[in-house]
Structure 1
Amino acid sequence: MSNVSVLIVDDAPFIRDLVKKALRSHFPGLQIEEAVNGRKAQQVLSRTGFDLILCDWEMPEMSGLELLQWFRAQPDQGSTPFVMVTSRGDKENVVEAIQAGVSDYIGKPFSNEQLIAKVKKALQRAGKLAQLQAPRPRASTGSAIGSVANLTGGRQTSSPVAPAPAPAPAPAAASPPRAAQPAPTPPAAEQAGGQRVRGQAQLRLAGEQFACVIKHLSLRDALVVVRRGERLPQVFESGVLDLEQDADRSVARINGYVHAVAALEAKVDCDWVKVTLKFVDQDPEKLDYLSRLIASGTAQAHYSPSA
């Protein structure tokens, strides 16, 4: 077995577990450890060395950026690959991470291919990739590996899709990224049905983004309506819901996964799809933001999609 090791740092157990399984499916000899936040990772790194660190940015107690700054200040830790995995894509955040010594950057949500490519690149630079070269294991028939592929954007034919009245799921082949469509306006029948539209937001999946209408928002999940596109969102596919408050233009990027997909209306040619996104973030700051957003939602005209 290889002695190449990686530390995964993320406060969401669901994401940590799926990233671990994705790495093991491509690098069977890779030794993997995990930490639930930057503070725990700091303790692990104080006593153990790693060949690669995959770290989330937004975490309680100590953020990924703070961990990076501390790590680079340690003796002989200037060359260890440190890859930031985050939904933050603003230019100023990228520049800040580069100045702190980040090795690379993976934006959430990402595809399975993107994750593996970044890991290979980092290990190649560190001179460790050759130690992991081995025949790729046969695909498991269990549901866990399929869930990994879906979470990270893989297009596996066995991926589960929640039942929907639509004639058939969209083609599994990946399509090129498309610009977000204008925020959808659900059919009049739905608006008259009693459940009021709560607001607008942006749902980002791997290589794709949708303007969406929020039908329900809680600390655990969100029910949104999107226009049916070239493909349907897949169950267990990772996603990021961007929410912005009009008052101060602040943005929360809530990480989650697709829990359910269904047609908005019981007809074959329905153009609108209801998507339930289960949140996986455990960062108190994000939960507080959600609480404030939910509390103020009845007084707001809408939630604006972030830029």
Structure 2
Amino acid sequence: MAVLKIAVIDDATMIRDLIKKFVRQNFPEAKIFDAVNGQAGMTLLKRQPVDLILCDWEMPEMSGEELLRWVRTQENMLDTPFIMVTSRGDKEFVIKAIEAKVSDYLVKPFNNKQFLEKIHRAFKKHGIQVPESALLSKPPTGRGGDSLAVLTAHSSAVPKANESPVKNLPKKPLPKGAAIVRTSSGEIKCALKQLDLKSMLGVFKASTFMPTLLEQVSLDLEFSRRDEQKIVRMNGFVQMLKSNEERPDSNLAILKVFFMDEDPQKRALISEYVGQFN
């Protein structure tokens, strides 16, 4: 095929950079075009035909869902692979994306292998040949790796170990001052020590699943507003990881997550949470 053209649309600079890094690792000859939100993405796509669209869901001015619905009304993009890249793994959001004719759904956080598998699956769905430079050693097969099928099936299907964990928040509300930190291979529950618009500092049991330094994560928080449960989901990376005590048998660890989201609505929710937490 000709040189692959890929559009990366996300309002968070660090997340755009991370996605572009994965694109360059897997498709070194690809041309990358990026946009800071859905409205800018629409402008980009009007003037620049692409072979693949990687788009965030929650963005100011125009959401990923709104952009997807517009894309599917354009004759030249009716069959362009469109992968929604977001931390919103809730079933109702996935169903909305399916109704808008999304090609696939990649839940943050994800690793390079999961990223490449989703692109292969989307290309196969749309009958596009994958460049030889990005061939998987074992192409993904079967229903188990299809996050859309897993989330919309009536059976209790469970994602494979190498799939991004796609799940709702725990059924029981998170207690005040607690957070769930999700990675592409596991999650931990933290007690908050410090929280602001830039980062979160938390303590967790080191005997549980252990994230790694600089790993991409998604942070879940909950708080009440007039008897309504509000959910805050922030994307970030592990900036610091160390023992809570100066001894080798310590069972507590300190984790610092630096936020990558720049969405003003998310920042407003964080501010509201901090106001209740302090």
CA contact (8 A) 1:244 1:252 kept: yes
Determine whether 1:222 maps to 2:207.
no
SS of corresponding position for 2:248: coil
Unaligned segments of structure 1, at least 5 residues: 137-173, 182-196, 299-307
Distance 1:87 1:175 in 2: 14
Q: Could you tell me how far 1:134 is from its partner in structure 2?
A: 2.8
Per the alignment, residue 204 of structure 1 pairs with 182
Give the alignment partner of residue 222 of structure 2, picking from 226, 244, 253. 244
Kept in 2: contact 1:235–1:259 (CA 8 A): yes
| Structure with more contact order per residue of length (Cα contacts < 8 Å, sep ≥ 6) | 1
Provide the alpha-carbon RMSD of the alignment. 2.6
Q: How does 1:247-262 map to 2 (within 5 A)?
A: 247=225, 248-262=228-242
Partner of 1:301: none
CA distance in 1 between partners of 2:262 and 2:30 (Å):
27
The superposition leaves residues 168-215 of structure 1 with CA deviations (integer Å, 9 ceiling, x where unpaired) of xxxxxx8997x999xxxxxxxxxxxxxxx9711111111211111111
Contact 2:107-2:164 at 8 Å conserved across structures: no
Residue of structure 1 equivalent to 2:138: none
Contact 1:198 1:214 in 2 (8 A): no
Pick one of 259, 267, 283 that aligns with 2:247. Answer: 267
The reply on whether 1:77 has 2:55 as its aligned counterpart is no
Check the 8 A contact 2:27/2:134 in 1, yes or no: no
2: CA distance between counterparts of 1:33 and 1:135?
A: 19
What secondary structure does 1:246 align onto? strand
- Which of 244, 265, 278 is equivalent to 1:285? 265
Equivalent-residue separation in structure 2 for 1:77 and 1:278 (angstroms): 36
CA distance in 2, matches of 1:199, 1:231: 20
Aligned partner of 2:187: which letter? Answer: Q
Flag the 1:233–1:119 CA change in 2: closer, same or farther, 3 A: same
**Structure 1 residues 2 and 205, CA, compared in 2 at 3 Å: closer, same or farther?**
same
Inter-partner Cα distance in structure 2 for 1:244 and 1:218:
15
Structure 2 letter corresponding to 1:111: N
Given that 2:176 and 2:222 are in contact with CA atoms closer than 8 Å, whether structure 1 keeps it comes out as no
Q: CA deviation at 1:127?
A: 3.6
**Whole-Å separation in 2 of the counterparts to 1:204 and 1:278:** 14
Which TM-score applies when normalising by structure 2? 0.81
After TM superposition, the structure 1 stretch with the greater mean CA deviation from structure 2, 282-291 or 227-236, is 227-236
- Separation in 2, partners of 1:44, 1:135: 25
The equivalent residue for 2:149 is: none
CA distance in 1 between partners of 2:209 and 2:180 (Å)? 17
Count of aligned pairs between the two proteins: 246
Q: After alignment, is 231-240 or 100-109 more displaced?
A: 231-240
- Displacement of 1:293 in angstroms is 0.9
- Specify the code of the residue in structure 2 equivalent to 1:103: S
Larger Rg: 1
C-alpha displacement at 1:51, in angstroms?
0.8
The percent identity for this pair of structures is: 39
